[in-house]
Amino acid sequence: LNTPIDVPLADGETFKVGGLTVRAVHTPGHTAGHNCYFVEETLTLFTGDNVLGVGTSAIGAPPHGDMQAYLDSLVRMRELQSKLFAPGHGPVVTATDAKIKELIDHRATRDRQIIDLIDHGYTTDRQIRRALYPEIQKGLRRAAAGQVRAHLARMVGQGIVRVDEADEGKTWSVVLTK
């Protein structure tokens, strides 16, 4: 999608709409350039794709997505103390703190699942993806693989997982269990 930008907004910049003040909030993770928009008078946060009304957001593998940046953005979104999330997909969310906790907990659970799979011999992206998402539709496999790689990249950065590259592709091993 190639939509021209009328006015680029930096993090923290504001604009007025119908007497309301809207602040741009840079929230990378889903994508590097993802922004949310916070309506100061109503404490409403337009969350785009970082928080969905139902389920979790897809975080692709770097450089397109970044799991650590996503988790940091969730913390930043919580600090805004929004009363309402208006997501890009799904119904509005009124239990904003609970939703953020749900998303952070989900990612921590997924990290533990991946570590457990690696410990049990699932050492390639494909093996891990198949174990985590056994019934996934063919059209969603690429997104699921990106999710797995985003988690793995974050854990490599934390020193929890190591990647080994060989002619047959990447394999993963656990360095440290948190």
Q: Is the pLDDT of residue 97 over 80?
A: yes
Q: Compare 2 and 159 and report the one with higher pLDDT.
A: 159
Handedness of CA 79, 82, 88, 91 (dihedral sign): positive
pLDDT, tens digit, for every residue of 101-147? 999 999 999 999 999 999 999 999 999 999 999 999 999 999 999 99
Confidence of residue 177 (pLDDT cuts 50, 70, 90): low
Confidence of residue 1 (pLDDT cuts 50, 70, 90): low
The CA–CA distances, whole Å, from 23 to 11, 18, 81, 143 equal 8, 14, 14, 30
Question: DSSP character for 84?
Answer: E
Please tell me the CATH code under which domain 14-174 is placed.
Answer: 3.60.15.10
Predicted local distance difference test score (pLDDT) of residue 8: 84
pLDDT of residue 4: 83
pLDDT surpassing 90 at residue 166:
no
Question: Any idea where the domains of the chain sit in the sequence?
Answer: 14-174
* 168: CB partners within 8 A, 6+ apart: none
Q: Is the pLDDT confidence value at 71 over 60?
A: yes
| pLDDT above 90 as % of the chain | 83
Res 65 pLDDT > 80: yes
**Would you say residue 52 has pLDDT above 60?**
yes
Q: What is the average pLDDT score of the chain?
A: 93
The tokens describing 127, both together, are 């093996």
- pLDDT confidence of residue 41: 98
Greatest CA separation found in the chain?
60
